[in-house]
Structure 1
Amino acid sequence: MNLPNSLTVARLIIIPVFLLVASMKCHYADYIAAGIFIIAAITDSLDGYLARKKNQTTLLGQFLDPVVDKILVTAALIILVEIGRIPGWIAIIIVSREIAVTGLRAVAAAQGIVIAASCLGKIKTVAQIIAISAFLLDNFPFYLINFPFAYVALTFAMVFTLWSGVDYYLAFRLATKAR
């Protein structure tokens, strides 16, 4: 197994550790959970970068990397709902978009069509990581226009989640009509 795939597998293995720490009631658990989540998010960027730079892209990596990313974000959203930091409907919208886009990409792939990740999707991912990290830190010390930063970040993430979902749908429609 090459290094990029090893990083992806490590990210998958660390998810239960993240969930365990995030659900703990001790004082520093939030900070440790946020650190684990941020490290996992960094390995997502790192494994893709290494795979491209070292020409080590594999079918396993192409399948596993986006799946593990979605598991990480979904797990984080669910634990944030469980510990009462975000409402469930927000998690449902974000997870539903992830499932819908994955389904669209799978249907397209079955027809021999590749729908590449868009810039909006990358912005969405970064926005989700920032928002989740901020909510894991709970009382994040940075405030913007009298609103806690976490809520501003979550609103931004929601907008890009929905926007990028529509963008993927339109790309799917365009690609399938061309056939």
Structure 2
Amino acid sequence: MSFSLYRSVPNLITLGRLMLVPAIIAMIAAERWQAACVVFILAGISDAVDGWIAKTFDLRTELGAYLDPLADKALIDSIFVSLAIVGVLPATIAILVVARDVMIVGAFMVSWFLHKPMAVKPLLISKLNTLVQLGCAAMVLGVKAFDFPAGVWFDISIYAVAFLTLASTGAYFEQWIRHMSV
């Protein structure tokens, strides 16, 4: 294997995760819950694996710095919207999750257009937010796939997603305001 191909392994894994998104959406739309749950878990594992490989073997790239969060956003936003459309999650939580990502991407674009680009560097609150969002989505898919009772954990996870999504939005907005000298 050539060094350049070896160097691309984390990005290729990320691209694979991105390609799983339409499949998961189709499975949710068709209410093929077990398949959607399994593929979603594989996508989540691929996120951990590509990050571990990039860090462990010093294979981080500029492309990967943009591609990995893009794949995360595509996966999370698509899952939340799909689950809201089929009536499994409240639409308000899907709107909140998507609005946060649109605002963050919009802020990065504005800073870039104004020739004051920001470095792509996730905040700790954002990493926690992503983890809780993925956990909530996995729980919901698992509940649907294996007929587990959701119980109080459903409400707790929804409130945790809402709180962390708002907190993360605020943290990025505050960082962007400082960066842009507003």
Superposition TM-score tier, normalisation by shorter sequence: 0.7 to 0.9
More off after superposition, 133-142 vs 165-174 = 133-142
Structure 2 residue identity aligned to 1:66: P
2:168 is aligned with 1:160? no
Question: Whole-Å Cα distance in 2 between the matches of residues 85 and 126 of structure 1?
Answer: 20
Question: Whole-Å Cα distance in 2 between the matches of residues 64 and 119 of structure 1?
Answer: 19
Q: What is the deviation of 1:150? A: 2.1
Q: Report percent identity of matched pairs.
A: 26
Give the structure 1 partner of residue 46 of structure 2.
43
Secondary structure class of the residue paired with 1:57: coil
Q: Deviations over 1:91-110 (max 9, x none)?
A: 11110101111222333454
Normalising to structure 1: TM-score of the pair?
A: 0.86
Which of these residues, 11, 20, 33, is aligned with residue 26 of structure 2?
20
Distance 1:115 1:75, change over 3 A: closer
Residues 49-60 of structure 1 mapped to structure 2, 5 A cutoff = 49-60=52-63
Distance 1:140 1:161, change over 3 A: farther
Q: What is the deviation of 1:67? A: 1.1
Structure 2 residue identity aligned to 1:167: A
- Is the contact between residue 40 and residue 138 of structure 2 (CA under 8 Å) also seen in structure 1? yes
More off after superposition, 6-15 vs 98-107 = 98-107
Aligned length in residues: 171
Give the structure 2 partner of residue 131 of structure 1.
136
- Is the contact between residue 108 and residue 176 of structure 1 (CA under 8 Å) also seen in structure 2? yes
Residues 60-79 of structure 1 mapped to structure 2, 5 A cutoff = 60-79=63-82
Question: Whole-Å Cα distance in 1 between the matches of residues 118 and 67 of structure 2?
Answer: 19
Give the structure 1 partner of residue 104 of structure 2.
101
Unaligned runs of 5+ in 1: none
- Is the contact between residue 127 and residue 154 of structure 1 (CA under 8 Å) also seen in structure 2? no
Superposition RMSD in Å? 1.9
Q: Deviations over 1:131-164 (max 9, x none)?
A: 1112223353464xxx2x1221121011000101
2:12 is aligned with 1:9? no
2:145 is aligned with 1:140? no
Secondary structure class of the residue paired with 1:114: coil
Secondary structure class of the residue paired with 2:148: coil
Unaligned runs of 5+ in 2: none
- Is the contact between residue 8 and residue 65 of structure 1 (CA under 8 Å) also seen in structure 2? yes
Question: Whole-Å Cα distance in 1 between the matches of residues 53 and 106 of structure 2?
Answer: 27
Question: Whole-Å Cα distance in 2 between the matches of residues 150 and 134 of structure 1?
Answer: 8
2:177 is aligned with 1:169? no
Secondary structure class of the residue paired with 1:85: coil
- Is the contact between residue 41 and residue 138 of structure 2 (CA under 8 Å) also seen in structure 1? yes
